[in-house]
C-alpha cells in the first residue's frame, strides 16, 4: 500500500465531555474526500480508521508497522492533554519507517502549522485548508519519487526545509510556507467521499454523513470555519442534483435510510439558500426516497414554509445554533440575531414535531451574573432542560477559544496558550463570581453525568450512540437535581 490515510485514536478525557466542540462535523468526511480524490487519480490508498476500530495508540503503531507505505496522511484532531500521544505514536513510526513522508491535515494542523513543524521536526509537512488537491499533488510528488524541491511548489503546503540547522546540538527546523491554495470553486467537481468500512460504521451507530456545502456566511467570534476555508469563500454549496445523486447511491446500494448533513450551515445565505434546500427536498420526494435526515443551521435560517417542505422530505433532527439567551452575549459573539429569533426558531421546529439539539454557551470570558441569569431563564422558559444529559451540557458549557477564531486573535482577557502548539487559549473570567460559579457547575454536572453512566452500566444497556432514553425515574431525579443546584448556586452568588 503506497499511501495510508490515518484517523488516529481519539481517547476521551473524563473532564472534557464537550470534546465535539473542537472539530465541526465537516471534518468527519475530510479523509473520505482525500481518499476518493486519490483513488480517482489512480493512487493506491488505504484508510486506517483507528478511532472507528477502537484501537489504542500502541495497537495503531503495531498495525501500521505491518504495512508498506511511502506516504502517511494523518487527520490530526485536537485531544487536549492527549494530543501529545499522537506525536509519540508518529515518532515511533518515524523510527521504524524512516523513509516514509508524514503529512498532517485538518483544522488543528491548518492553524498550528508553524508550532507543529517546529516542535515535531519528524513531521515532514502540513496541509493548510481544504486538503484534496494539495494532498493529491503531494502524493504525486512523493509516490513518483520527484525531487524534494517539487514540494516547494505545492500551494497549500507547509514543510520543514531539508536544510535544517543544528544549533547547540538541537535540530532547528527551517519552516517553508508555500502559497495558500484557493478553495475548490465548484464542489460538484469533487468525487463523492470514499466510505471506509460502512457496515462497521453503521453497526457502531455512527450516522451516515453527507457534506452538501462548505463554510458559513456567519462571522461568529468563536468559530474558525471562515479562517479555515479562507476569506475568499464564506459559503459554497453543491448543486441539489449532485447532493441527491450521492444520497440516492447510498440509499440504493447500501440500503441506508438515515443521513446527517455535516454542513456547518445546511442553508446557504438568504432566500436563495432556502430555495436550494427546497429543491433538494423536492428531488427526494419526487424520486420516492423513504429517508430521514438531520441538519445543522442558524436560527435565522428557520422559516415556516421551508421547514414544512423539508419535514415532508424526511427532516427529523436539527442542531440549532442558539448560543445564548443573553442579548449582550449574542451581540458580543457577532451572531447578528436576537433572543426573540432564538425563540421563534425553536417554536417553529416544535410545531413540526422536532425538538432540536442546541449549540449553547452558558459561560464566556465576559459573562456577568446577569448574562448567566438571562441564559438560565431562557432555558427554563423555552423548556429546554428536560433530560439530564442535555441539561448538564446546556448548564455547564464554557466557551473554548481555539486558534483561527476572532476570540483567539484578540487574546480575550489575557488568554494564554494551553500547550506548546498554541491551539487553545486558556482565559480568566472578568467576573470572579462567574468563574467560581462556572467551576462549581462544571464539577456538579460531571458528577451527575458519571452517575448516569454508572446507572446505565448497572442496567447492562449496550448502546452505540449518545442517545439515551431518559424517561426513567432515576434520570428524572438527576435532571431535577441539576436544575435545582444551578438555581440555588446562581442565587447564592447573586
DSSP H or E run through 75:
strand 71-75
- Angle of helix 473-493 relative to helix 388-396, nearest 10 degrees, comes to 20
Q: For residue 415, what pLDDT is reported?
A: 56
The set of cell numbers assigned to 281 is: 427536498
- Rounded CA separation 290/286 (Å): 11
- What is the SS3 string spanning 464-492? CCCCCCCCCHHHHHHHHHHHHHHHHHHHH
Instruction: Name, in order, each residue with C-beta under 8 angstroms of 244's C-beta and a sequence gap of 6 or more.
Output: 280, 283, 284, 287
Q: For residue 15, what pLDDT is reported?
A: 65
| Per-residue pLDDT of the chain in tens (494 residues, 90 and over written 9) | 699 999 999 987 766 655 556 666 667 799 999 999 999 999 999 999 999 999 999 999 999 999 999 999 999 999 888 899 999 999 999 999 999 999 999 999 999 999 999 999 999 999 999 999 999 999 999 999 888 889 999 999 999 875 544 444 455 567 899 999 999 989 999 999 999 999 999 999 999 999 999 998 888 999 998 889 876 567 999 999 999 999 999 999 999 999 999 999 999 899 999 999 999 999 999 999 999 999 999 999 999 999 999 999 999 999 999 999 999 999 999 999 999 999 999 999 999 999 999 999 999 999 999 999 999 999 999 999 999 989 999 999 999 999 999 999 876 555 566 767 888 888 899 999 999 999 999 999 999 988 888 876 544 443 333 444 567 889 899 999 999 999 999 999 99
- Which residue is it, cell 478511532? 51
- Rounded CA separation 448/188 (Å): 46
Instruction: Name, in order, each residue with C-beta under 8 angstroms of 24's C-beta and a sequence gap of 6 or more.
Output: 107, 225, 262, 264
DSSP H or E run through 282:
helix 270-286
Mind listing the domains of the chain with CATH numbers? 3-177 (3.40.50.2300), 197-318+325-356 (3.20.20.70), 361-494 (no CATH)
Q: For residue 171, what pLDDT is reported?
A: 52
Q: For residue 371, what pLDDT is reported?
A: 98
DSSP H or E run through 346:
helix 339-351
Q: Which candidate, 470, 364, 482, places its Cα nearest to that of 427?
A: 364
Residue 378's Cα: distance from chain center in Å? 26
Q: Which candidate, 439, 321, 453, 342, places its Cα nearest to that of 388?
A: 453
- Angle of helix 240-253 relative to helix 270-286, nearest 10 degrees, comes to 30
- Rounded CA separation 127/38 (Å): 15
CA distances from 212 to 188, 409, 484 (A): 10, 29, 42
Q: Which candidate, 39, 35, 43, places its Cα nearest to that of 6?
A: 35
CA distances from 433 to 28, 377, 429, 436 (A): 38, 19, 9, 5
Q: For residue 367, what pLDDT is reported?
A: 97
Q: Checking DSSP bridges between strand 71-75 and strand 45-49, what pairing results, if any? A: unpaired
Amino acid at each position: 500500500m503506497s499511501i495510508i490515510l490515518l484517523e488516529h485514536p481519539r481517547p476521551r478525557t473524563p473532564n472534557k465531555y464537550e470534546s465535539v466542540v473542537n472539530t465541526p462535523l465537516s471534518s468527519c468526511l475530510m479523509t473520505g474526500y482525500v481518499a476518493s480524490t486519490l483513488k480517482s487519480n489512480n493512487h493506491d490508498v488505504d484508510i486506517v480508521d483507528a478511532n472507528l476500530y477502537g484501537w489504542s495508540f500502541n495497537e495503531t503503531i503495531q498495525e501500521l508497522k505491518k504495512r508498506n507505505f511511502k506516504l502517511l496522511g494523518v487527520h490530526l484532531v485536537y485531544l487536549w492533554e492527549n494530543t501529545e500521544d499522537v506525536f509519540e505514536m508518529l515518532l515511533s513510526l518515524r523510527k521504524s519507517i524512516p523513509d516514509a513522508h508524514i503529512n498532517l491535515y485538518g483544522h488543528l494542523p491548518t492553524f498550528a502549522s508553524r508550532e507543529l513543524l517546529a516542535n515535531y521536526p519528524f513531521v515532514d509537512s502540513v496541509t493548510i485548508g481544504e486538503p484534496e488537491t494539495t494532498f493529491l499533488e503531494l502524493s504525486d510528488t512523493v509516490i513518483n519519487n520527484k525531487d524534494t524541491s517539487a514540494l516547494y511548489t505545492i500551494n497549500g503546503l507547509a514543510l520543514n526545509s531539508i536544510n535544517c540547522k543544528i544549533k547547540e546540538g538541537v535540530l532547528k527546523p527551517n519552516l517553508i510556507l508555500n502559497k495558500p491554495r484557493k478553495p475548490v470553486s465548484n464542489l460538484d467537481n469533487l468525487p463523492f467521499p470514499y466510505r471506509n468500512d460502512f457496515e462497521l460504521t453503521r453497526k457502531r451507530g455512527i450516522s451516515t454523513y453527507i457534506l452538501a456545502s462548505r463554510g458559513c456566511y456567519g462571522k461568529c467570534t468563536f468559530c474558525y470555519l471562515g479562517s479555515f476555508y479562507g476569506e475568499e469563500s464564506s459559503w459554497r454549496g453543491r448543486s441539489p442534483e449532485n447532493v441527491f445523486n450521492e444520497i440516492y447511491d447510498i440509499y440504493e446500494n447500501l440500503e441506508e435510510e438515515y443521513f446527517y448533513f455535516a454542513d456547518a450551515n445546511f442553508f446557504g445565505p438568504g432566500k436563495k439558500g432556502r430555495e436550494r434546500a427546497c429543491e433538494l427536498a423536492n428531488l427526494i420526494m419526487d424520486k420516492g426516497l423513504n429517508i430521514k435526515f438531520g441538519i445543522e443551521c442558524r436560527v435565522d435560517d428557520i422559516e415556516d414554509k421551508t421547514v414544512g417542505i423539508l419535514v415532508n422530505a424526511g427532516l427529523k433532527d436539527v442542531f440549532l445554533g442558539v448560543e445564548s439567551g443573553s442579548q449582550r452575549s449574542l451581540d458580543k459573539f457577532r451572531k447578528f440575531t436576537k433572543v426573540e429569533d432564538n425563540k421563534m426558531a425553536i417554536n417553529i421546529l416544535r410545531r413540526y414535531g422536532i425538538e432540536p439539539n442546541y449549540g449553547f454557551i452558558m459561560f464566556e470570558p465576559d459573562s456577568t451574573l446577569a448574562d448567566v441569569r438571562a441564559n438560565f431563564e431562557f432555558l427554563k422558559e423555552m423548556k429546554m432542560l428536560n433530560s439530564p444529559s442535555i441539561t448538564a451540557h446546556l448548564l455547564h458549557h464554557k466557551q473554548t477559544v481555539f486558534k483561527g477564531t476572532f476570540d483567539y486573535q484578540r487574546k480575550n482577557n489575557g488568554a494564554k496558550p494551553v500547550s506548546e502548539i498554541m491551539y487553545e487559549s486558556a482565559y480568566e473570567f472578568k467576573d470572579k463570581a462567574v468563574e467560581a460559579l462556572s467551576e462549581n457547575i462544571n464539577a456538579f454536572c460531571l458528577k451527575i453525568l458519571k452517575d448516569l453512566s454508572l446507572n446505565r452500566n448497572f442496567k447492562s444497556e449496550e448502546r452505540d450512540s449518545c442517545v439515551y432514553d431518559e424517561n426513567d425515574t432515576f434520570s428524572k431525579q438527576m435532571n431535577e437535581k441539576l436544575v435545582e443546584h444551578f438555581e440555588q448556586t446562581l442565587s447564592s452568588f447573586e
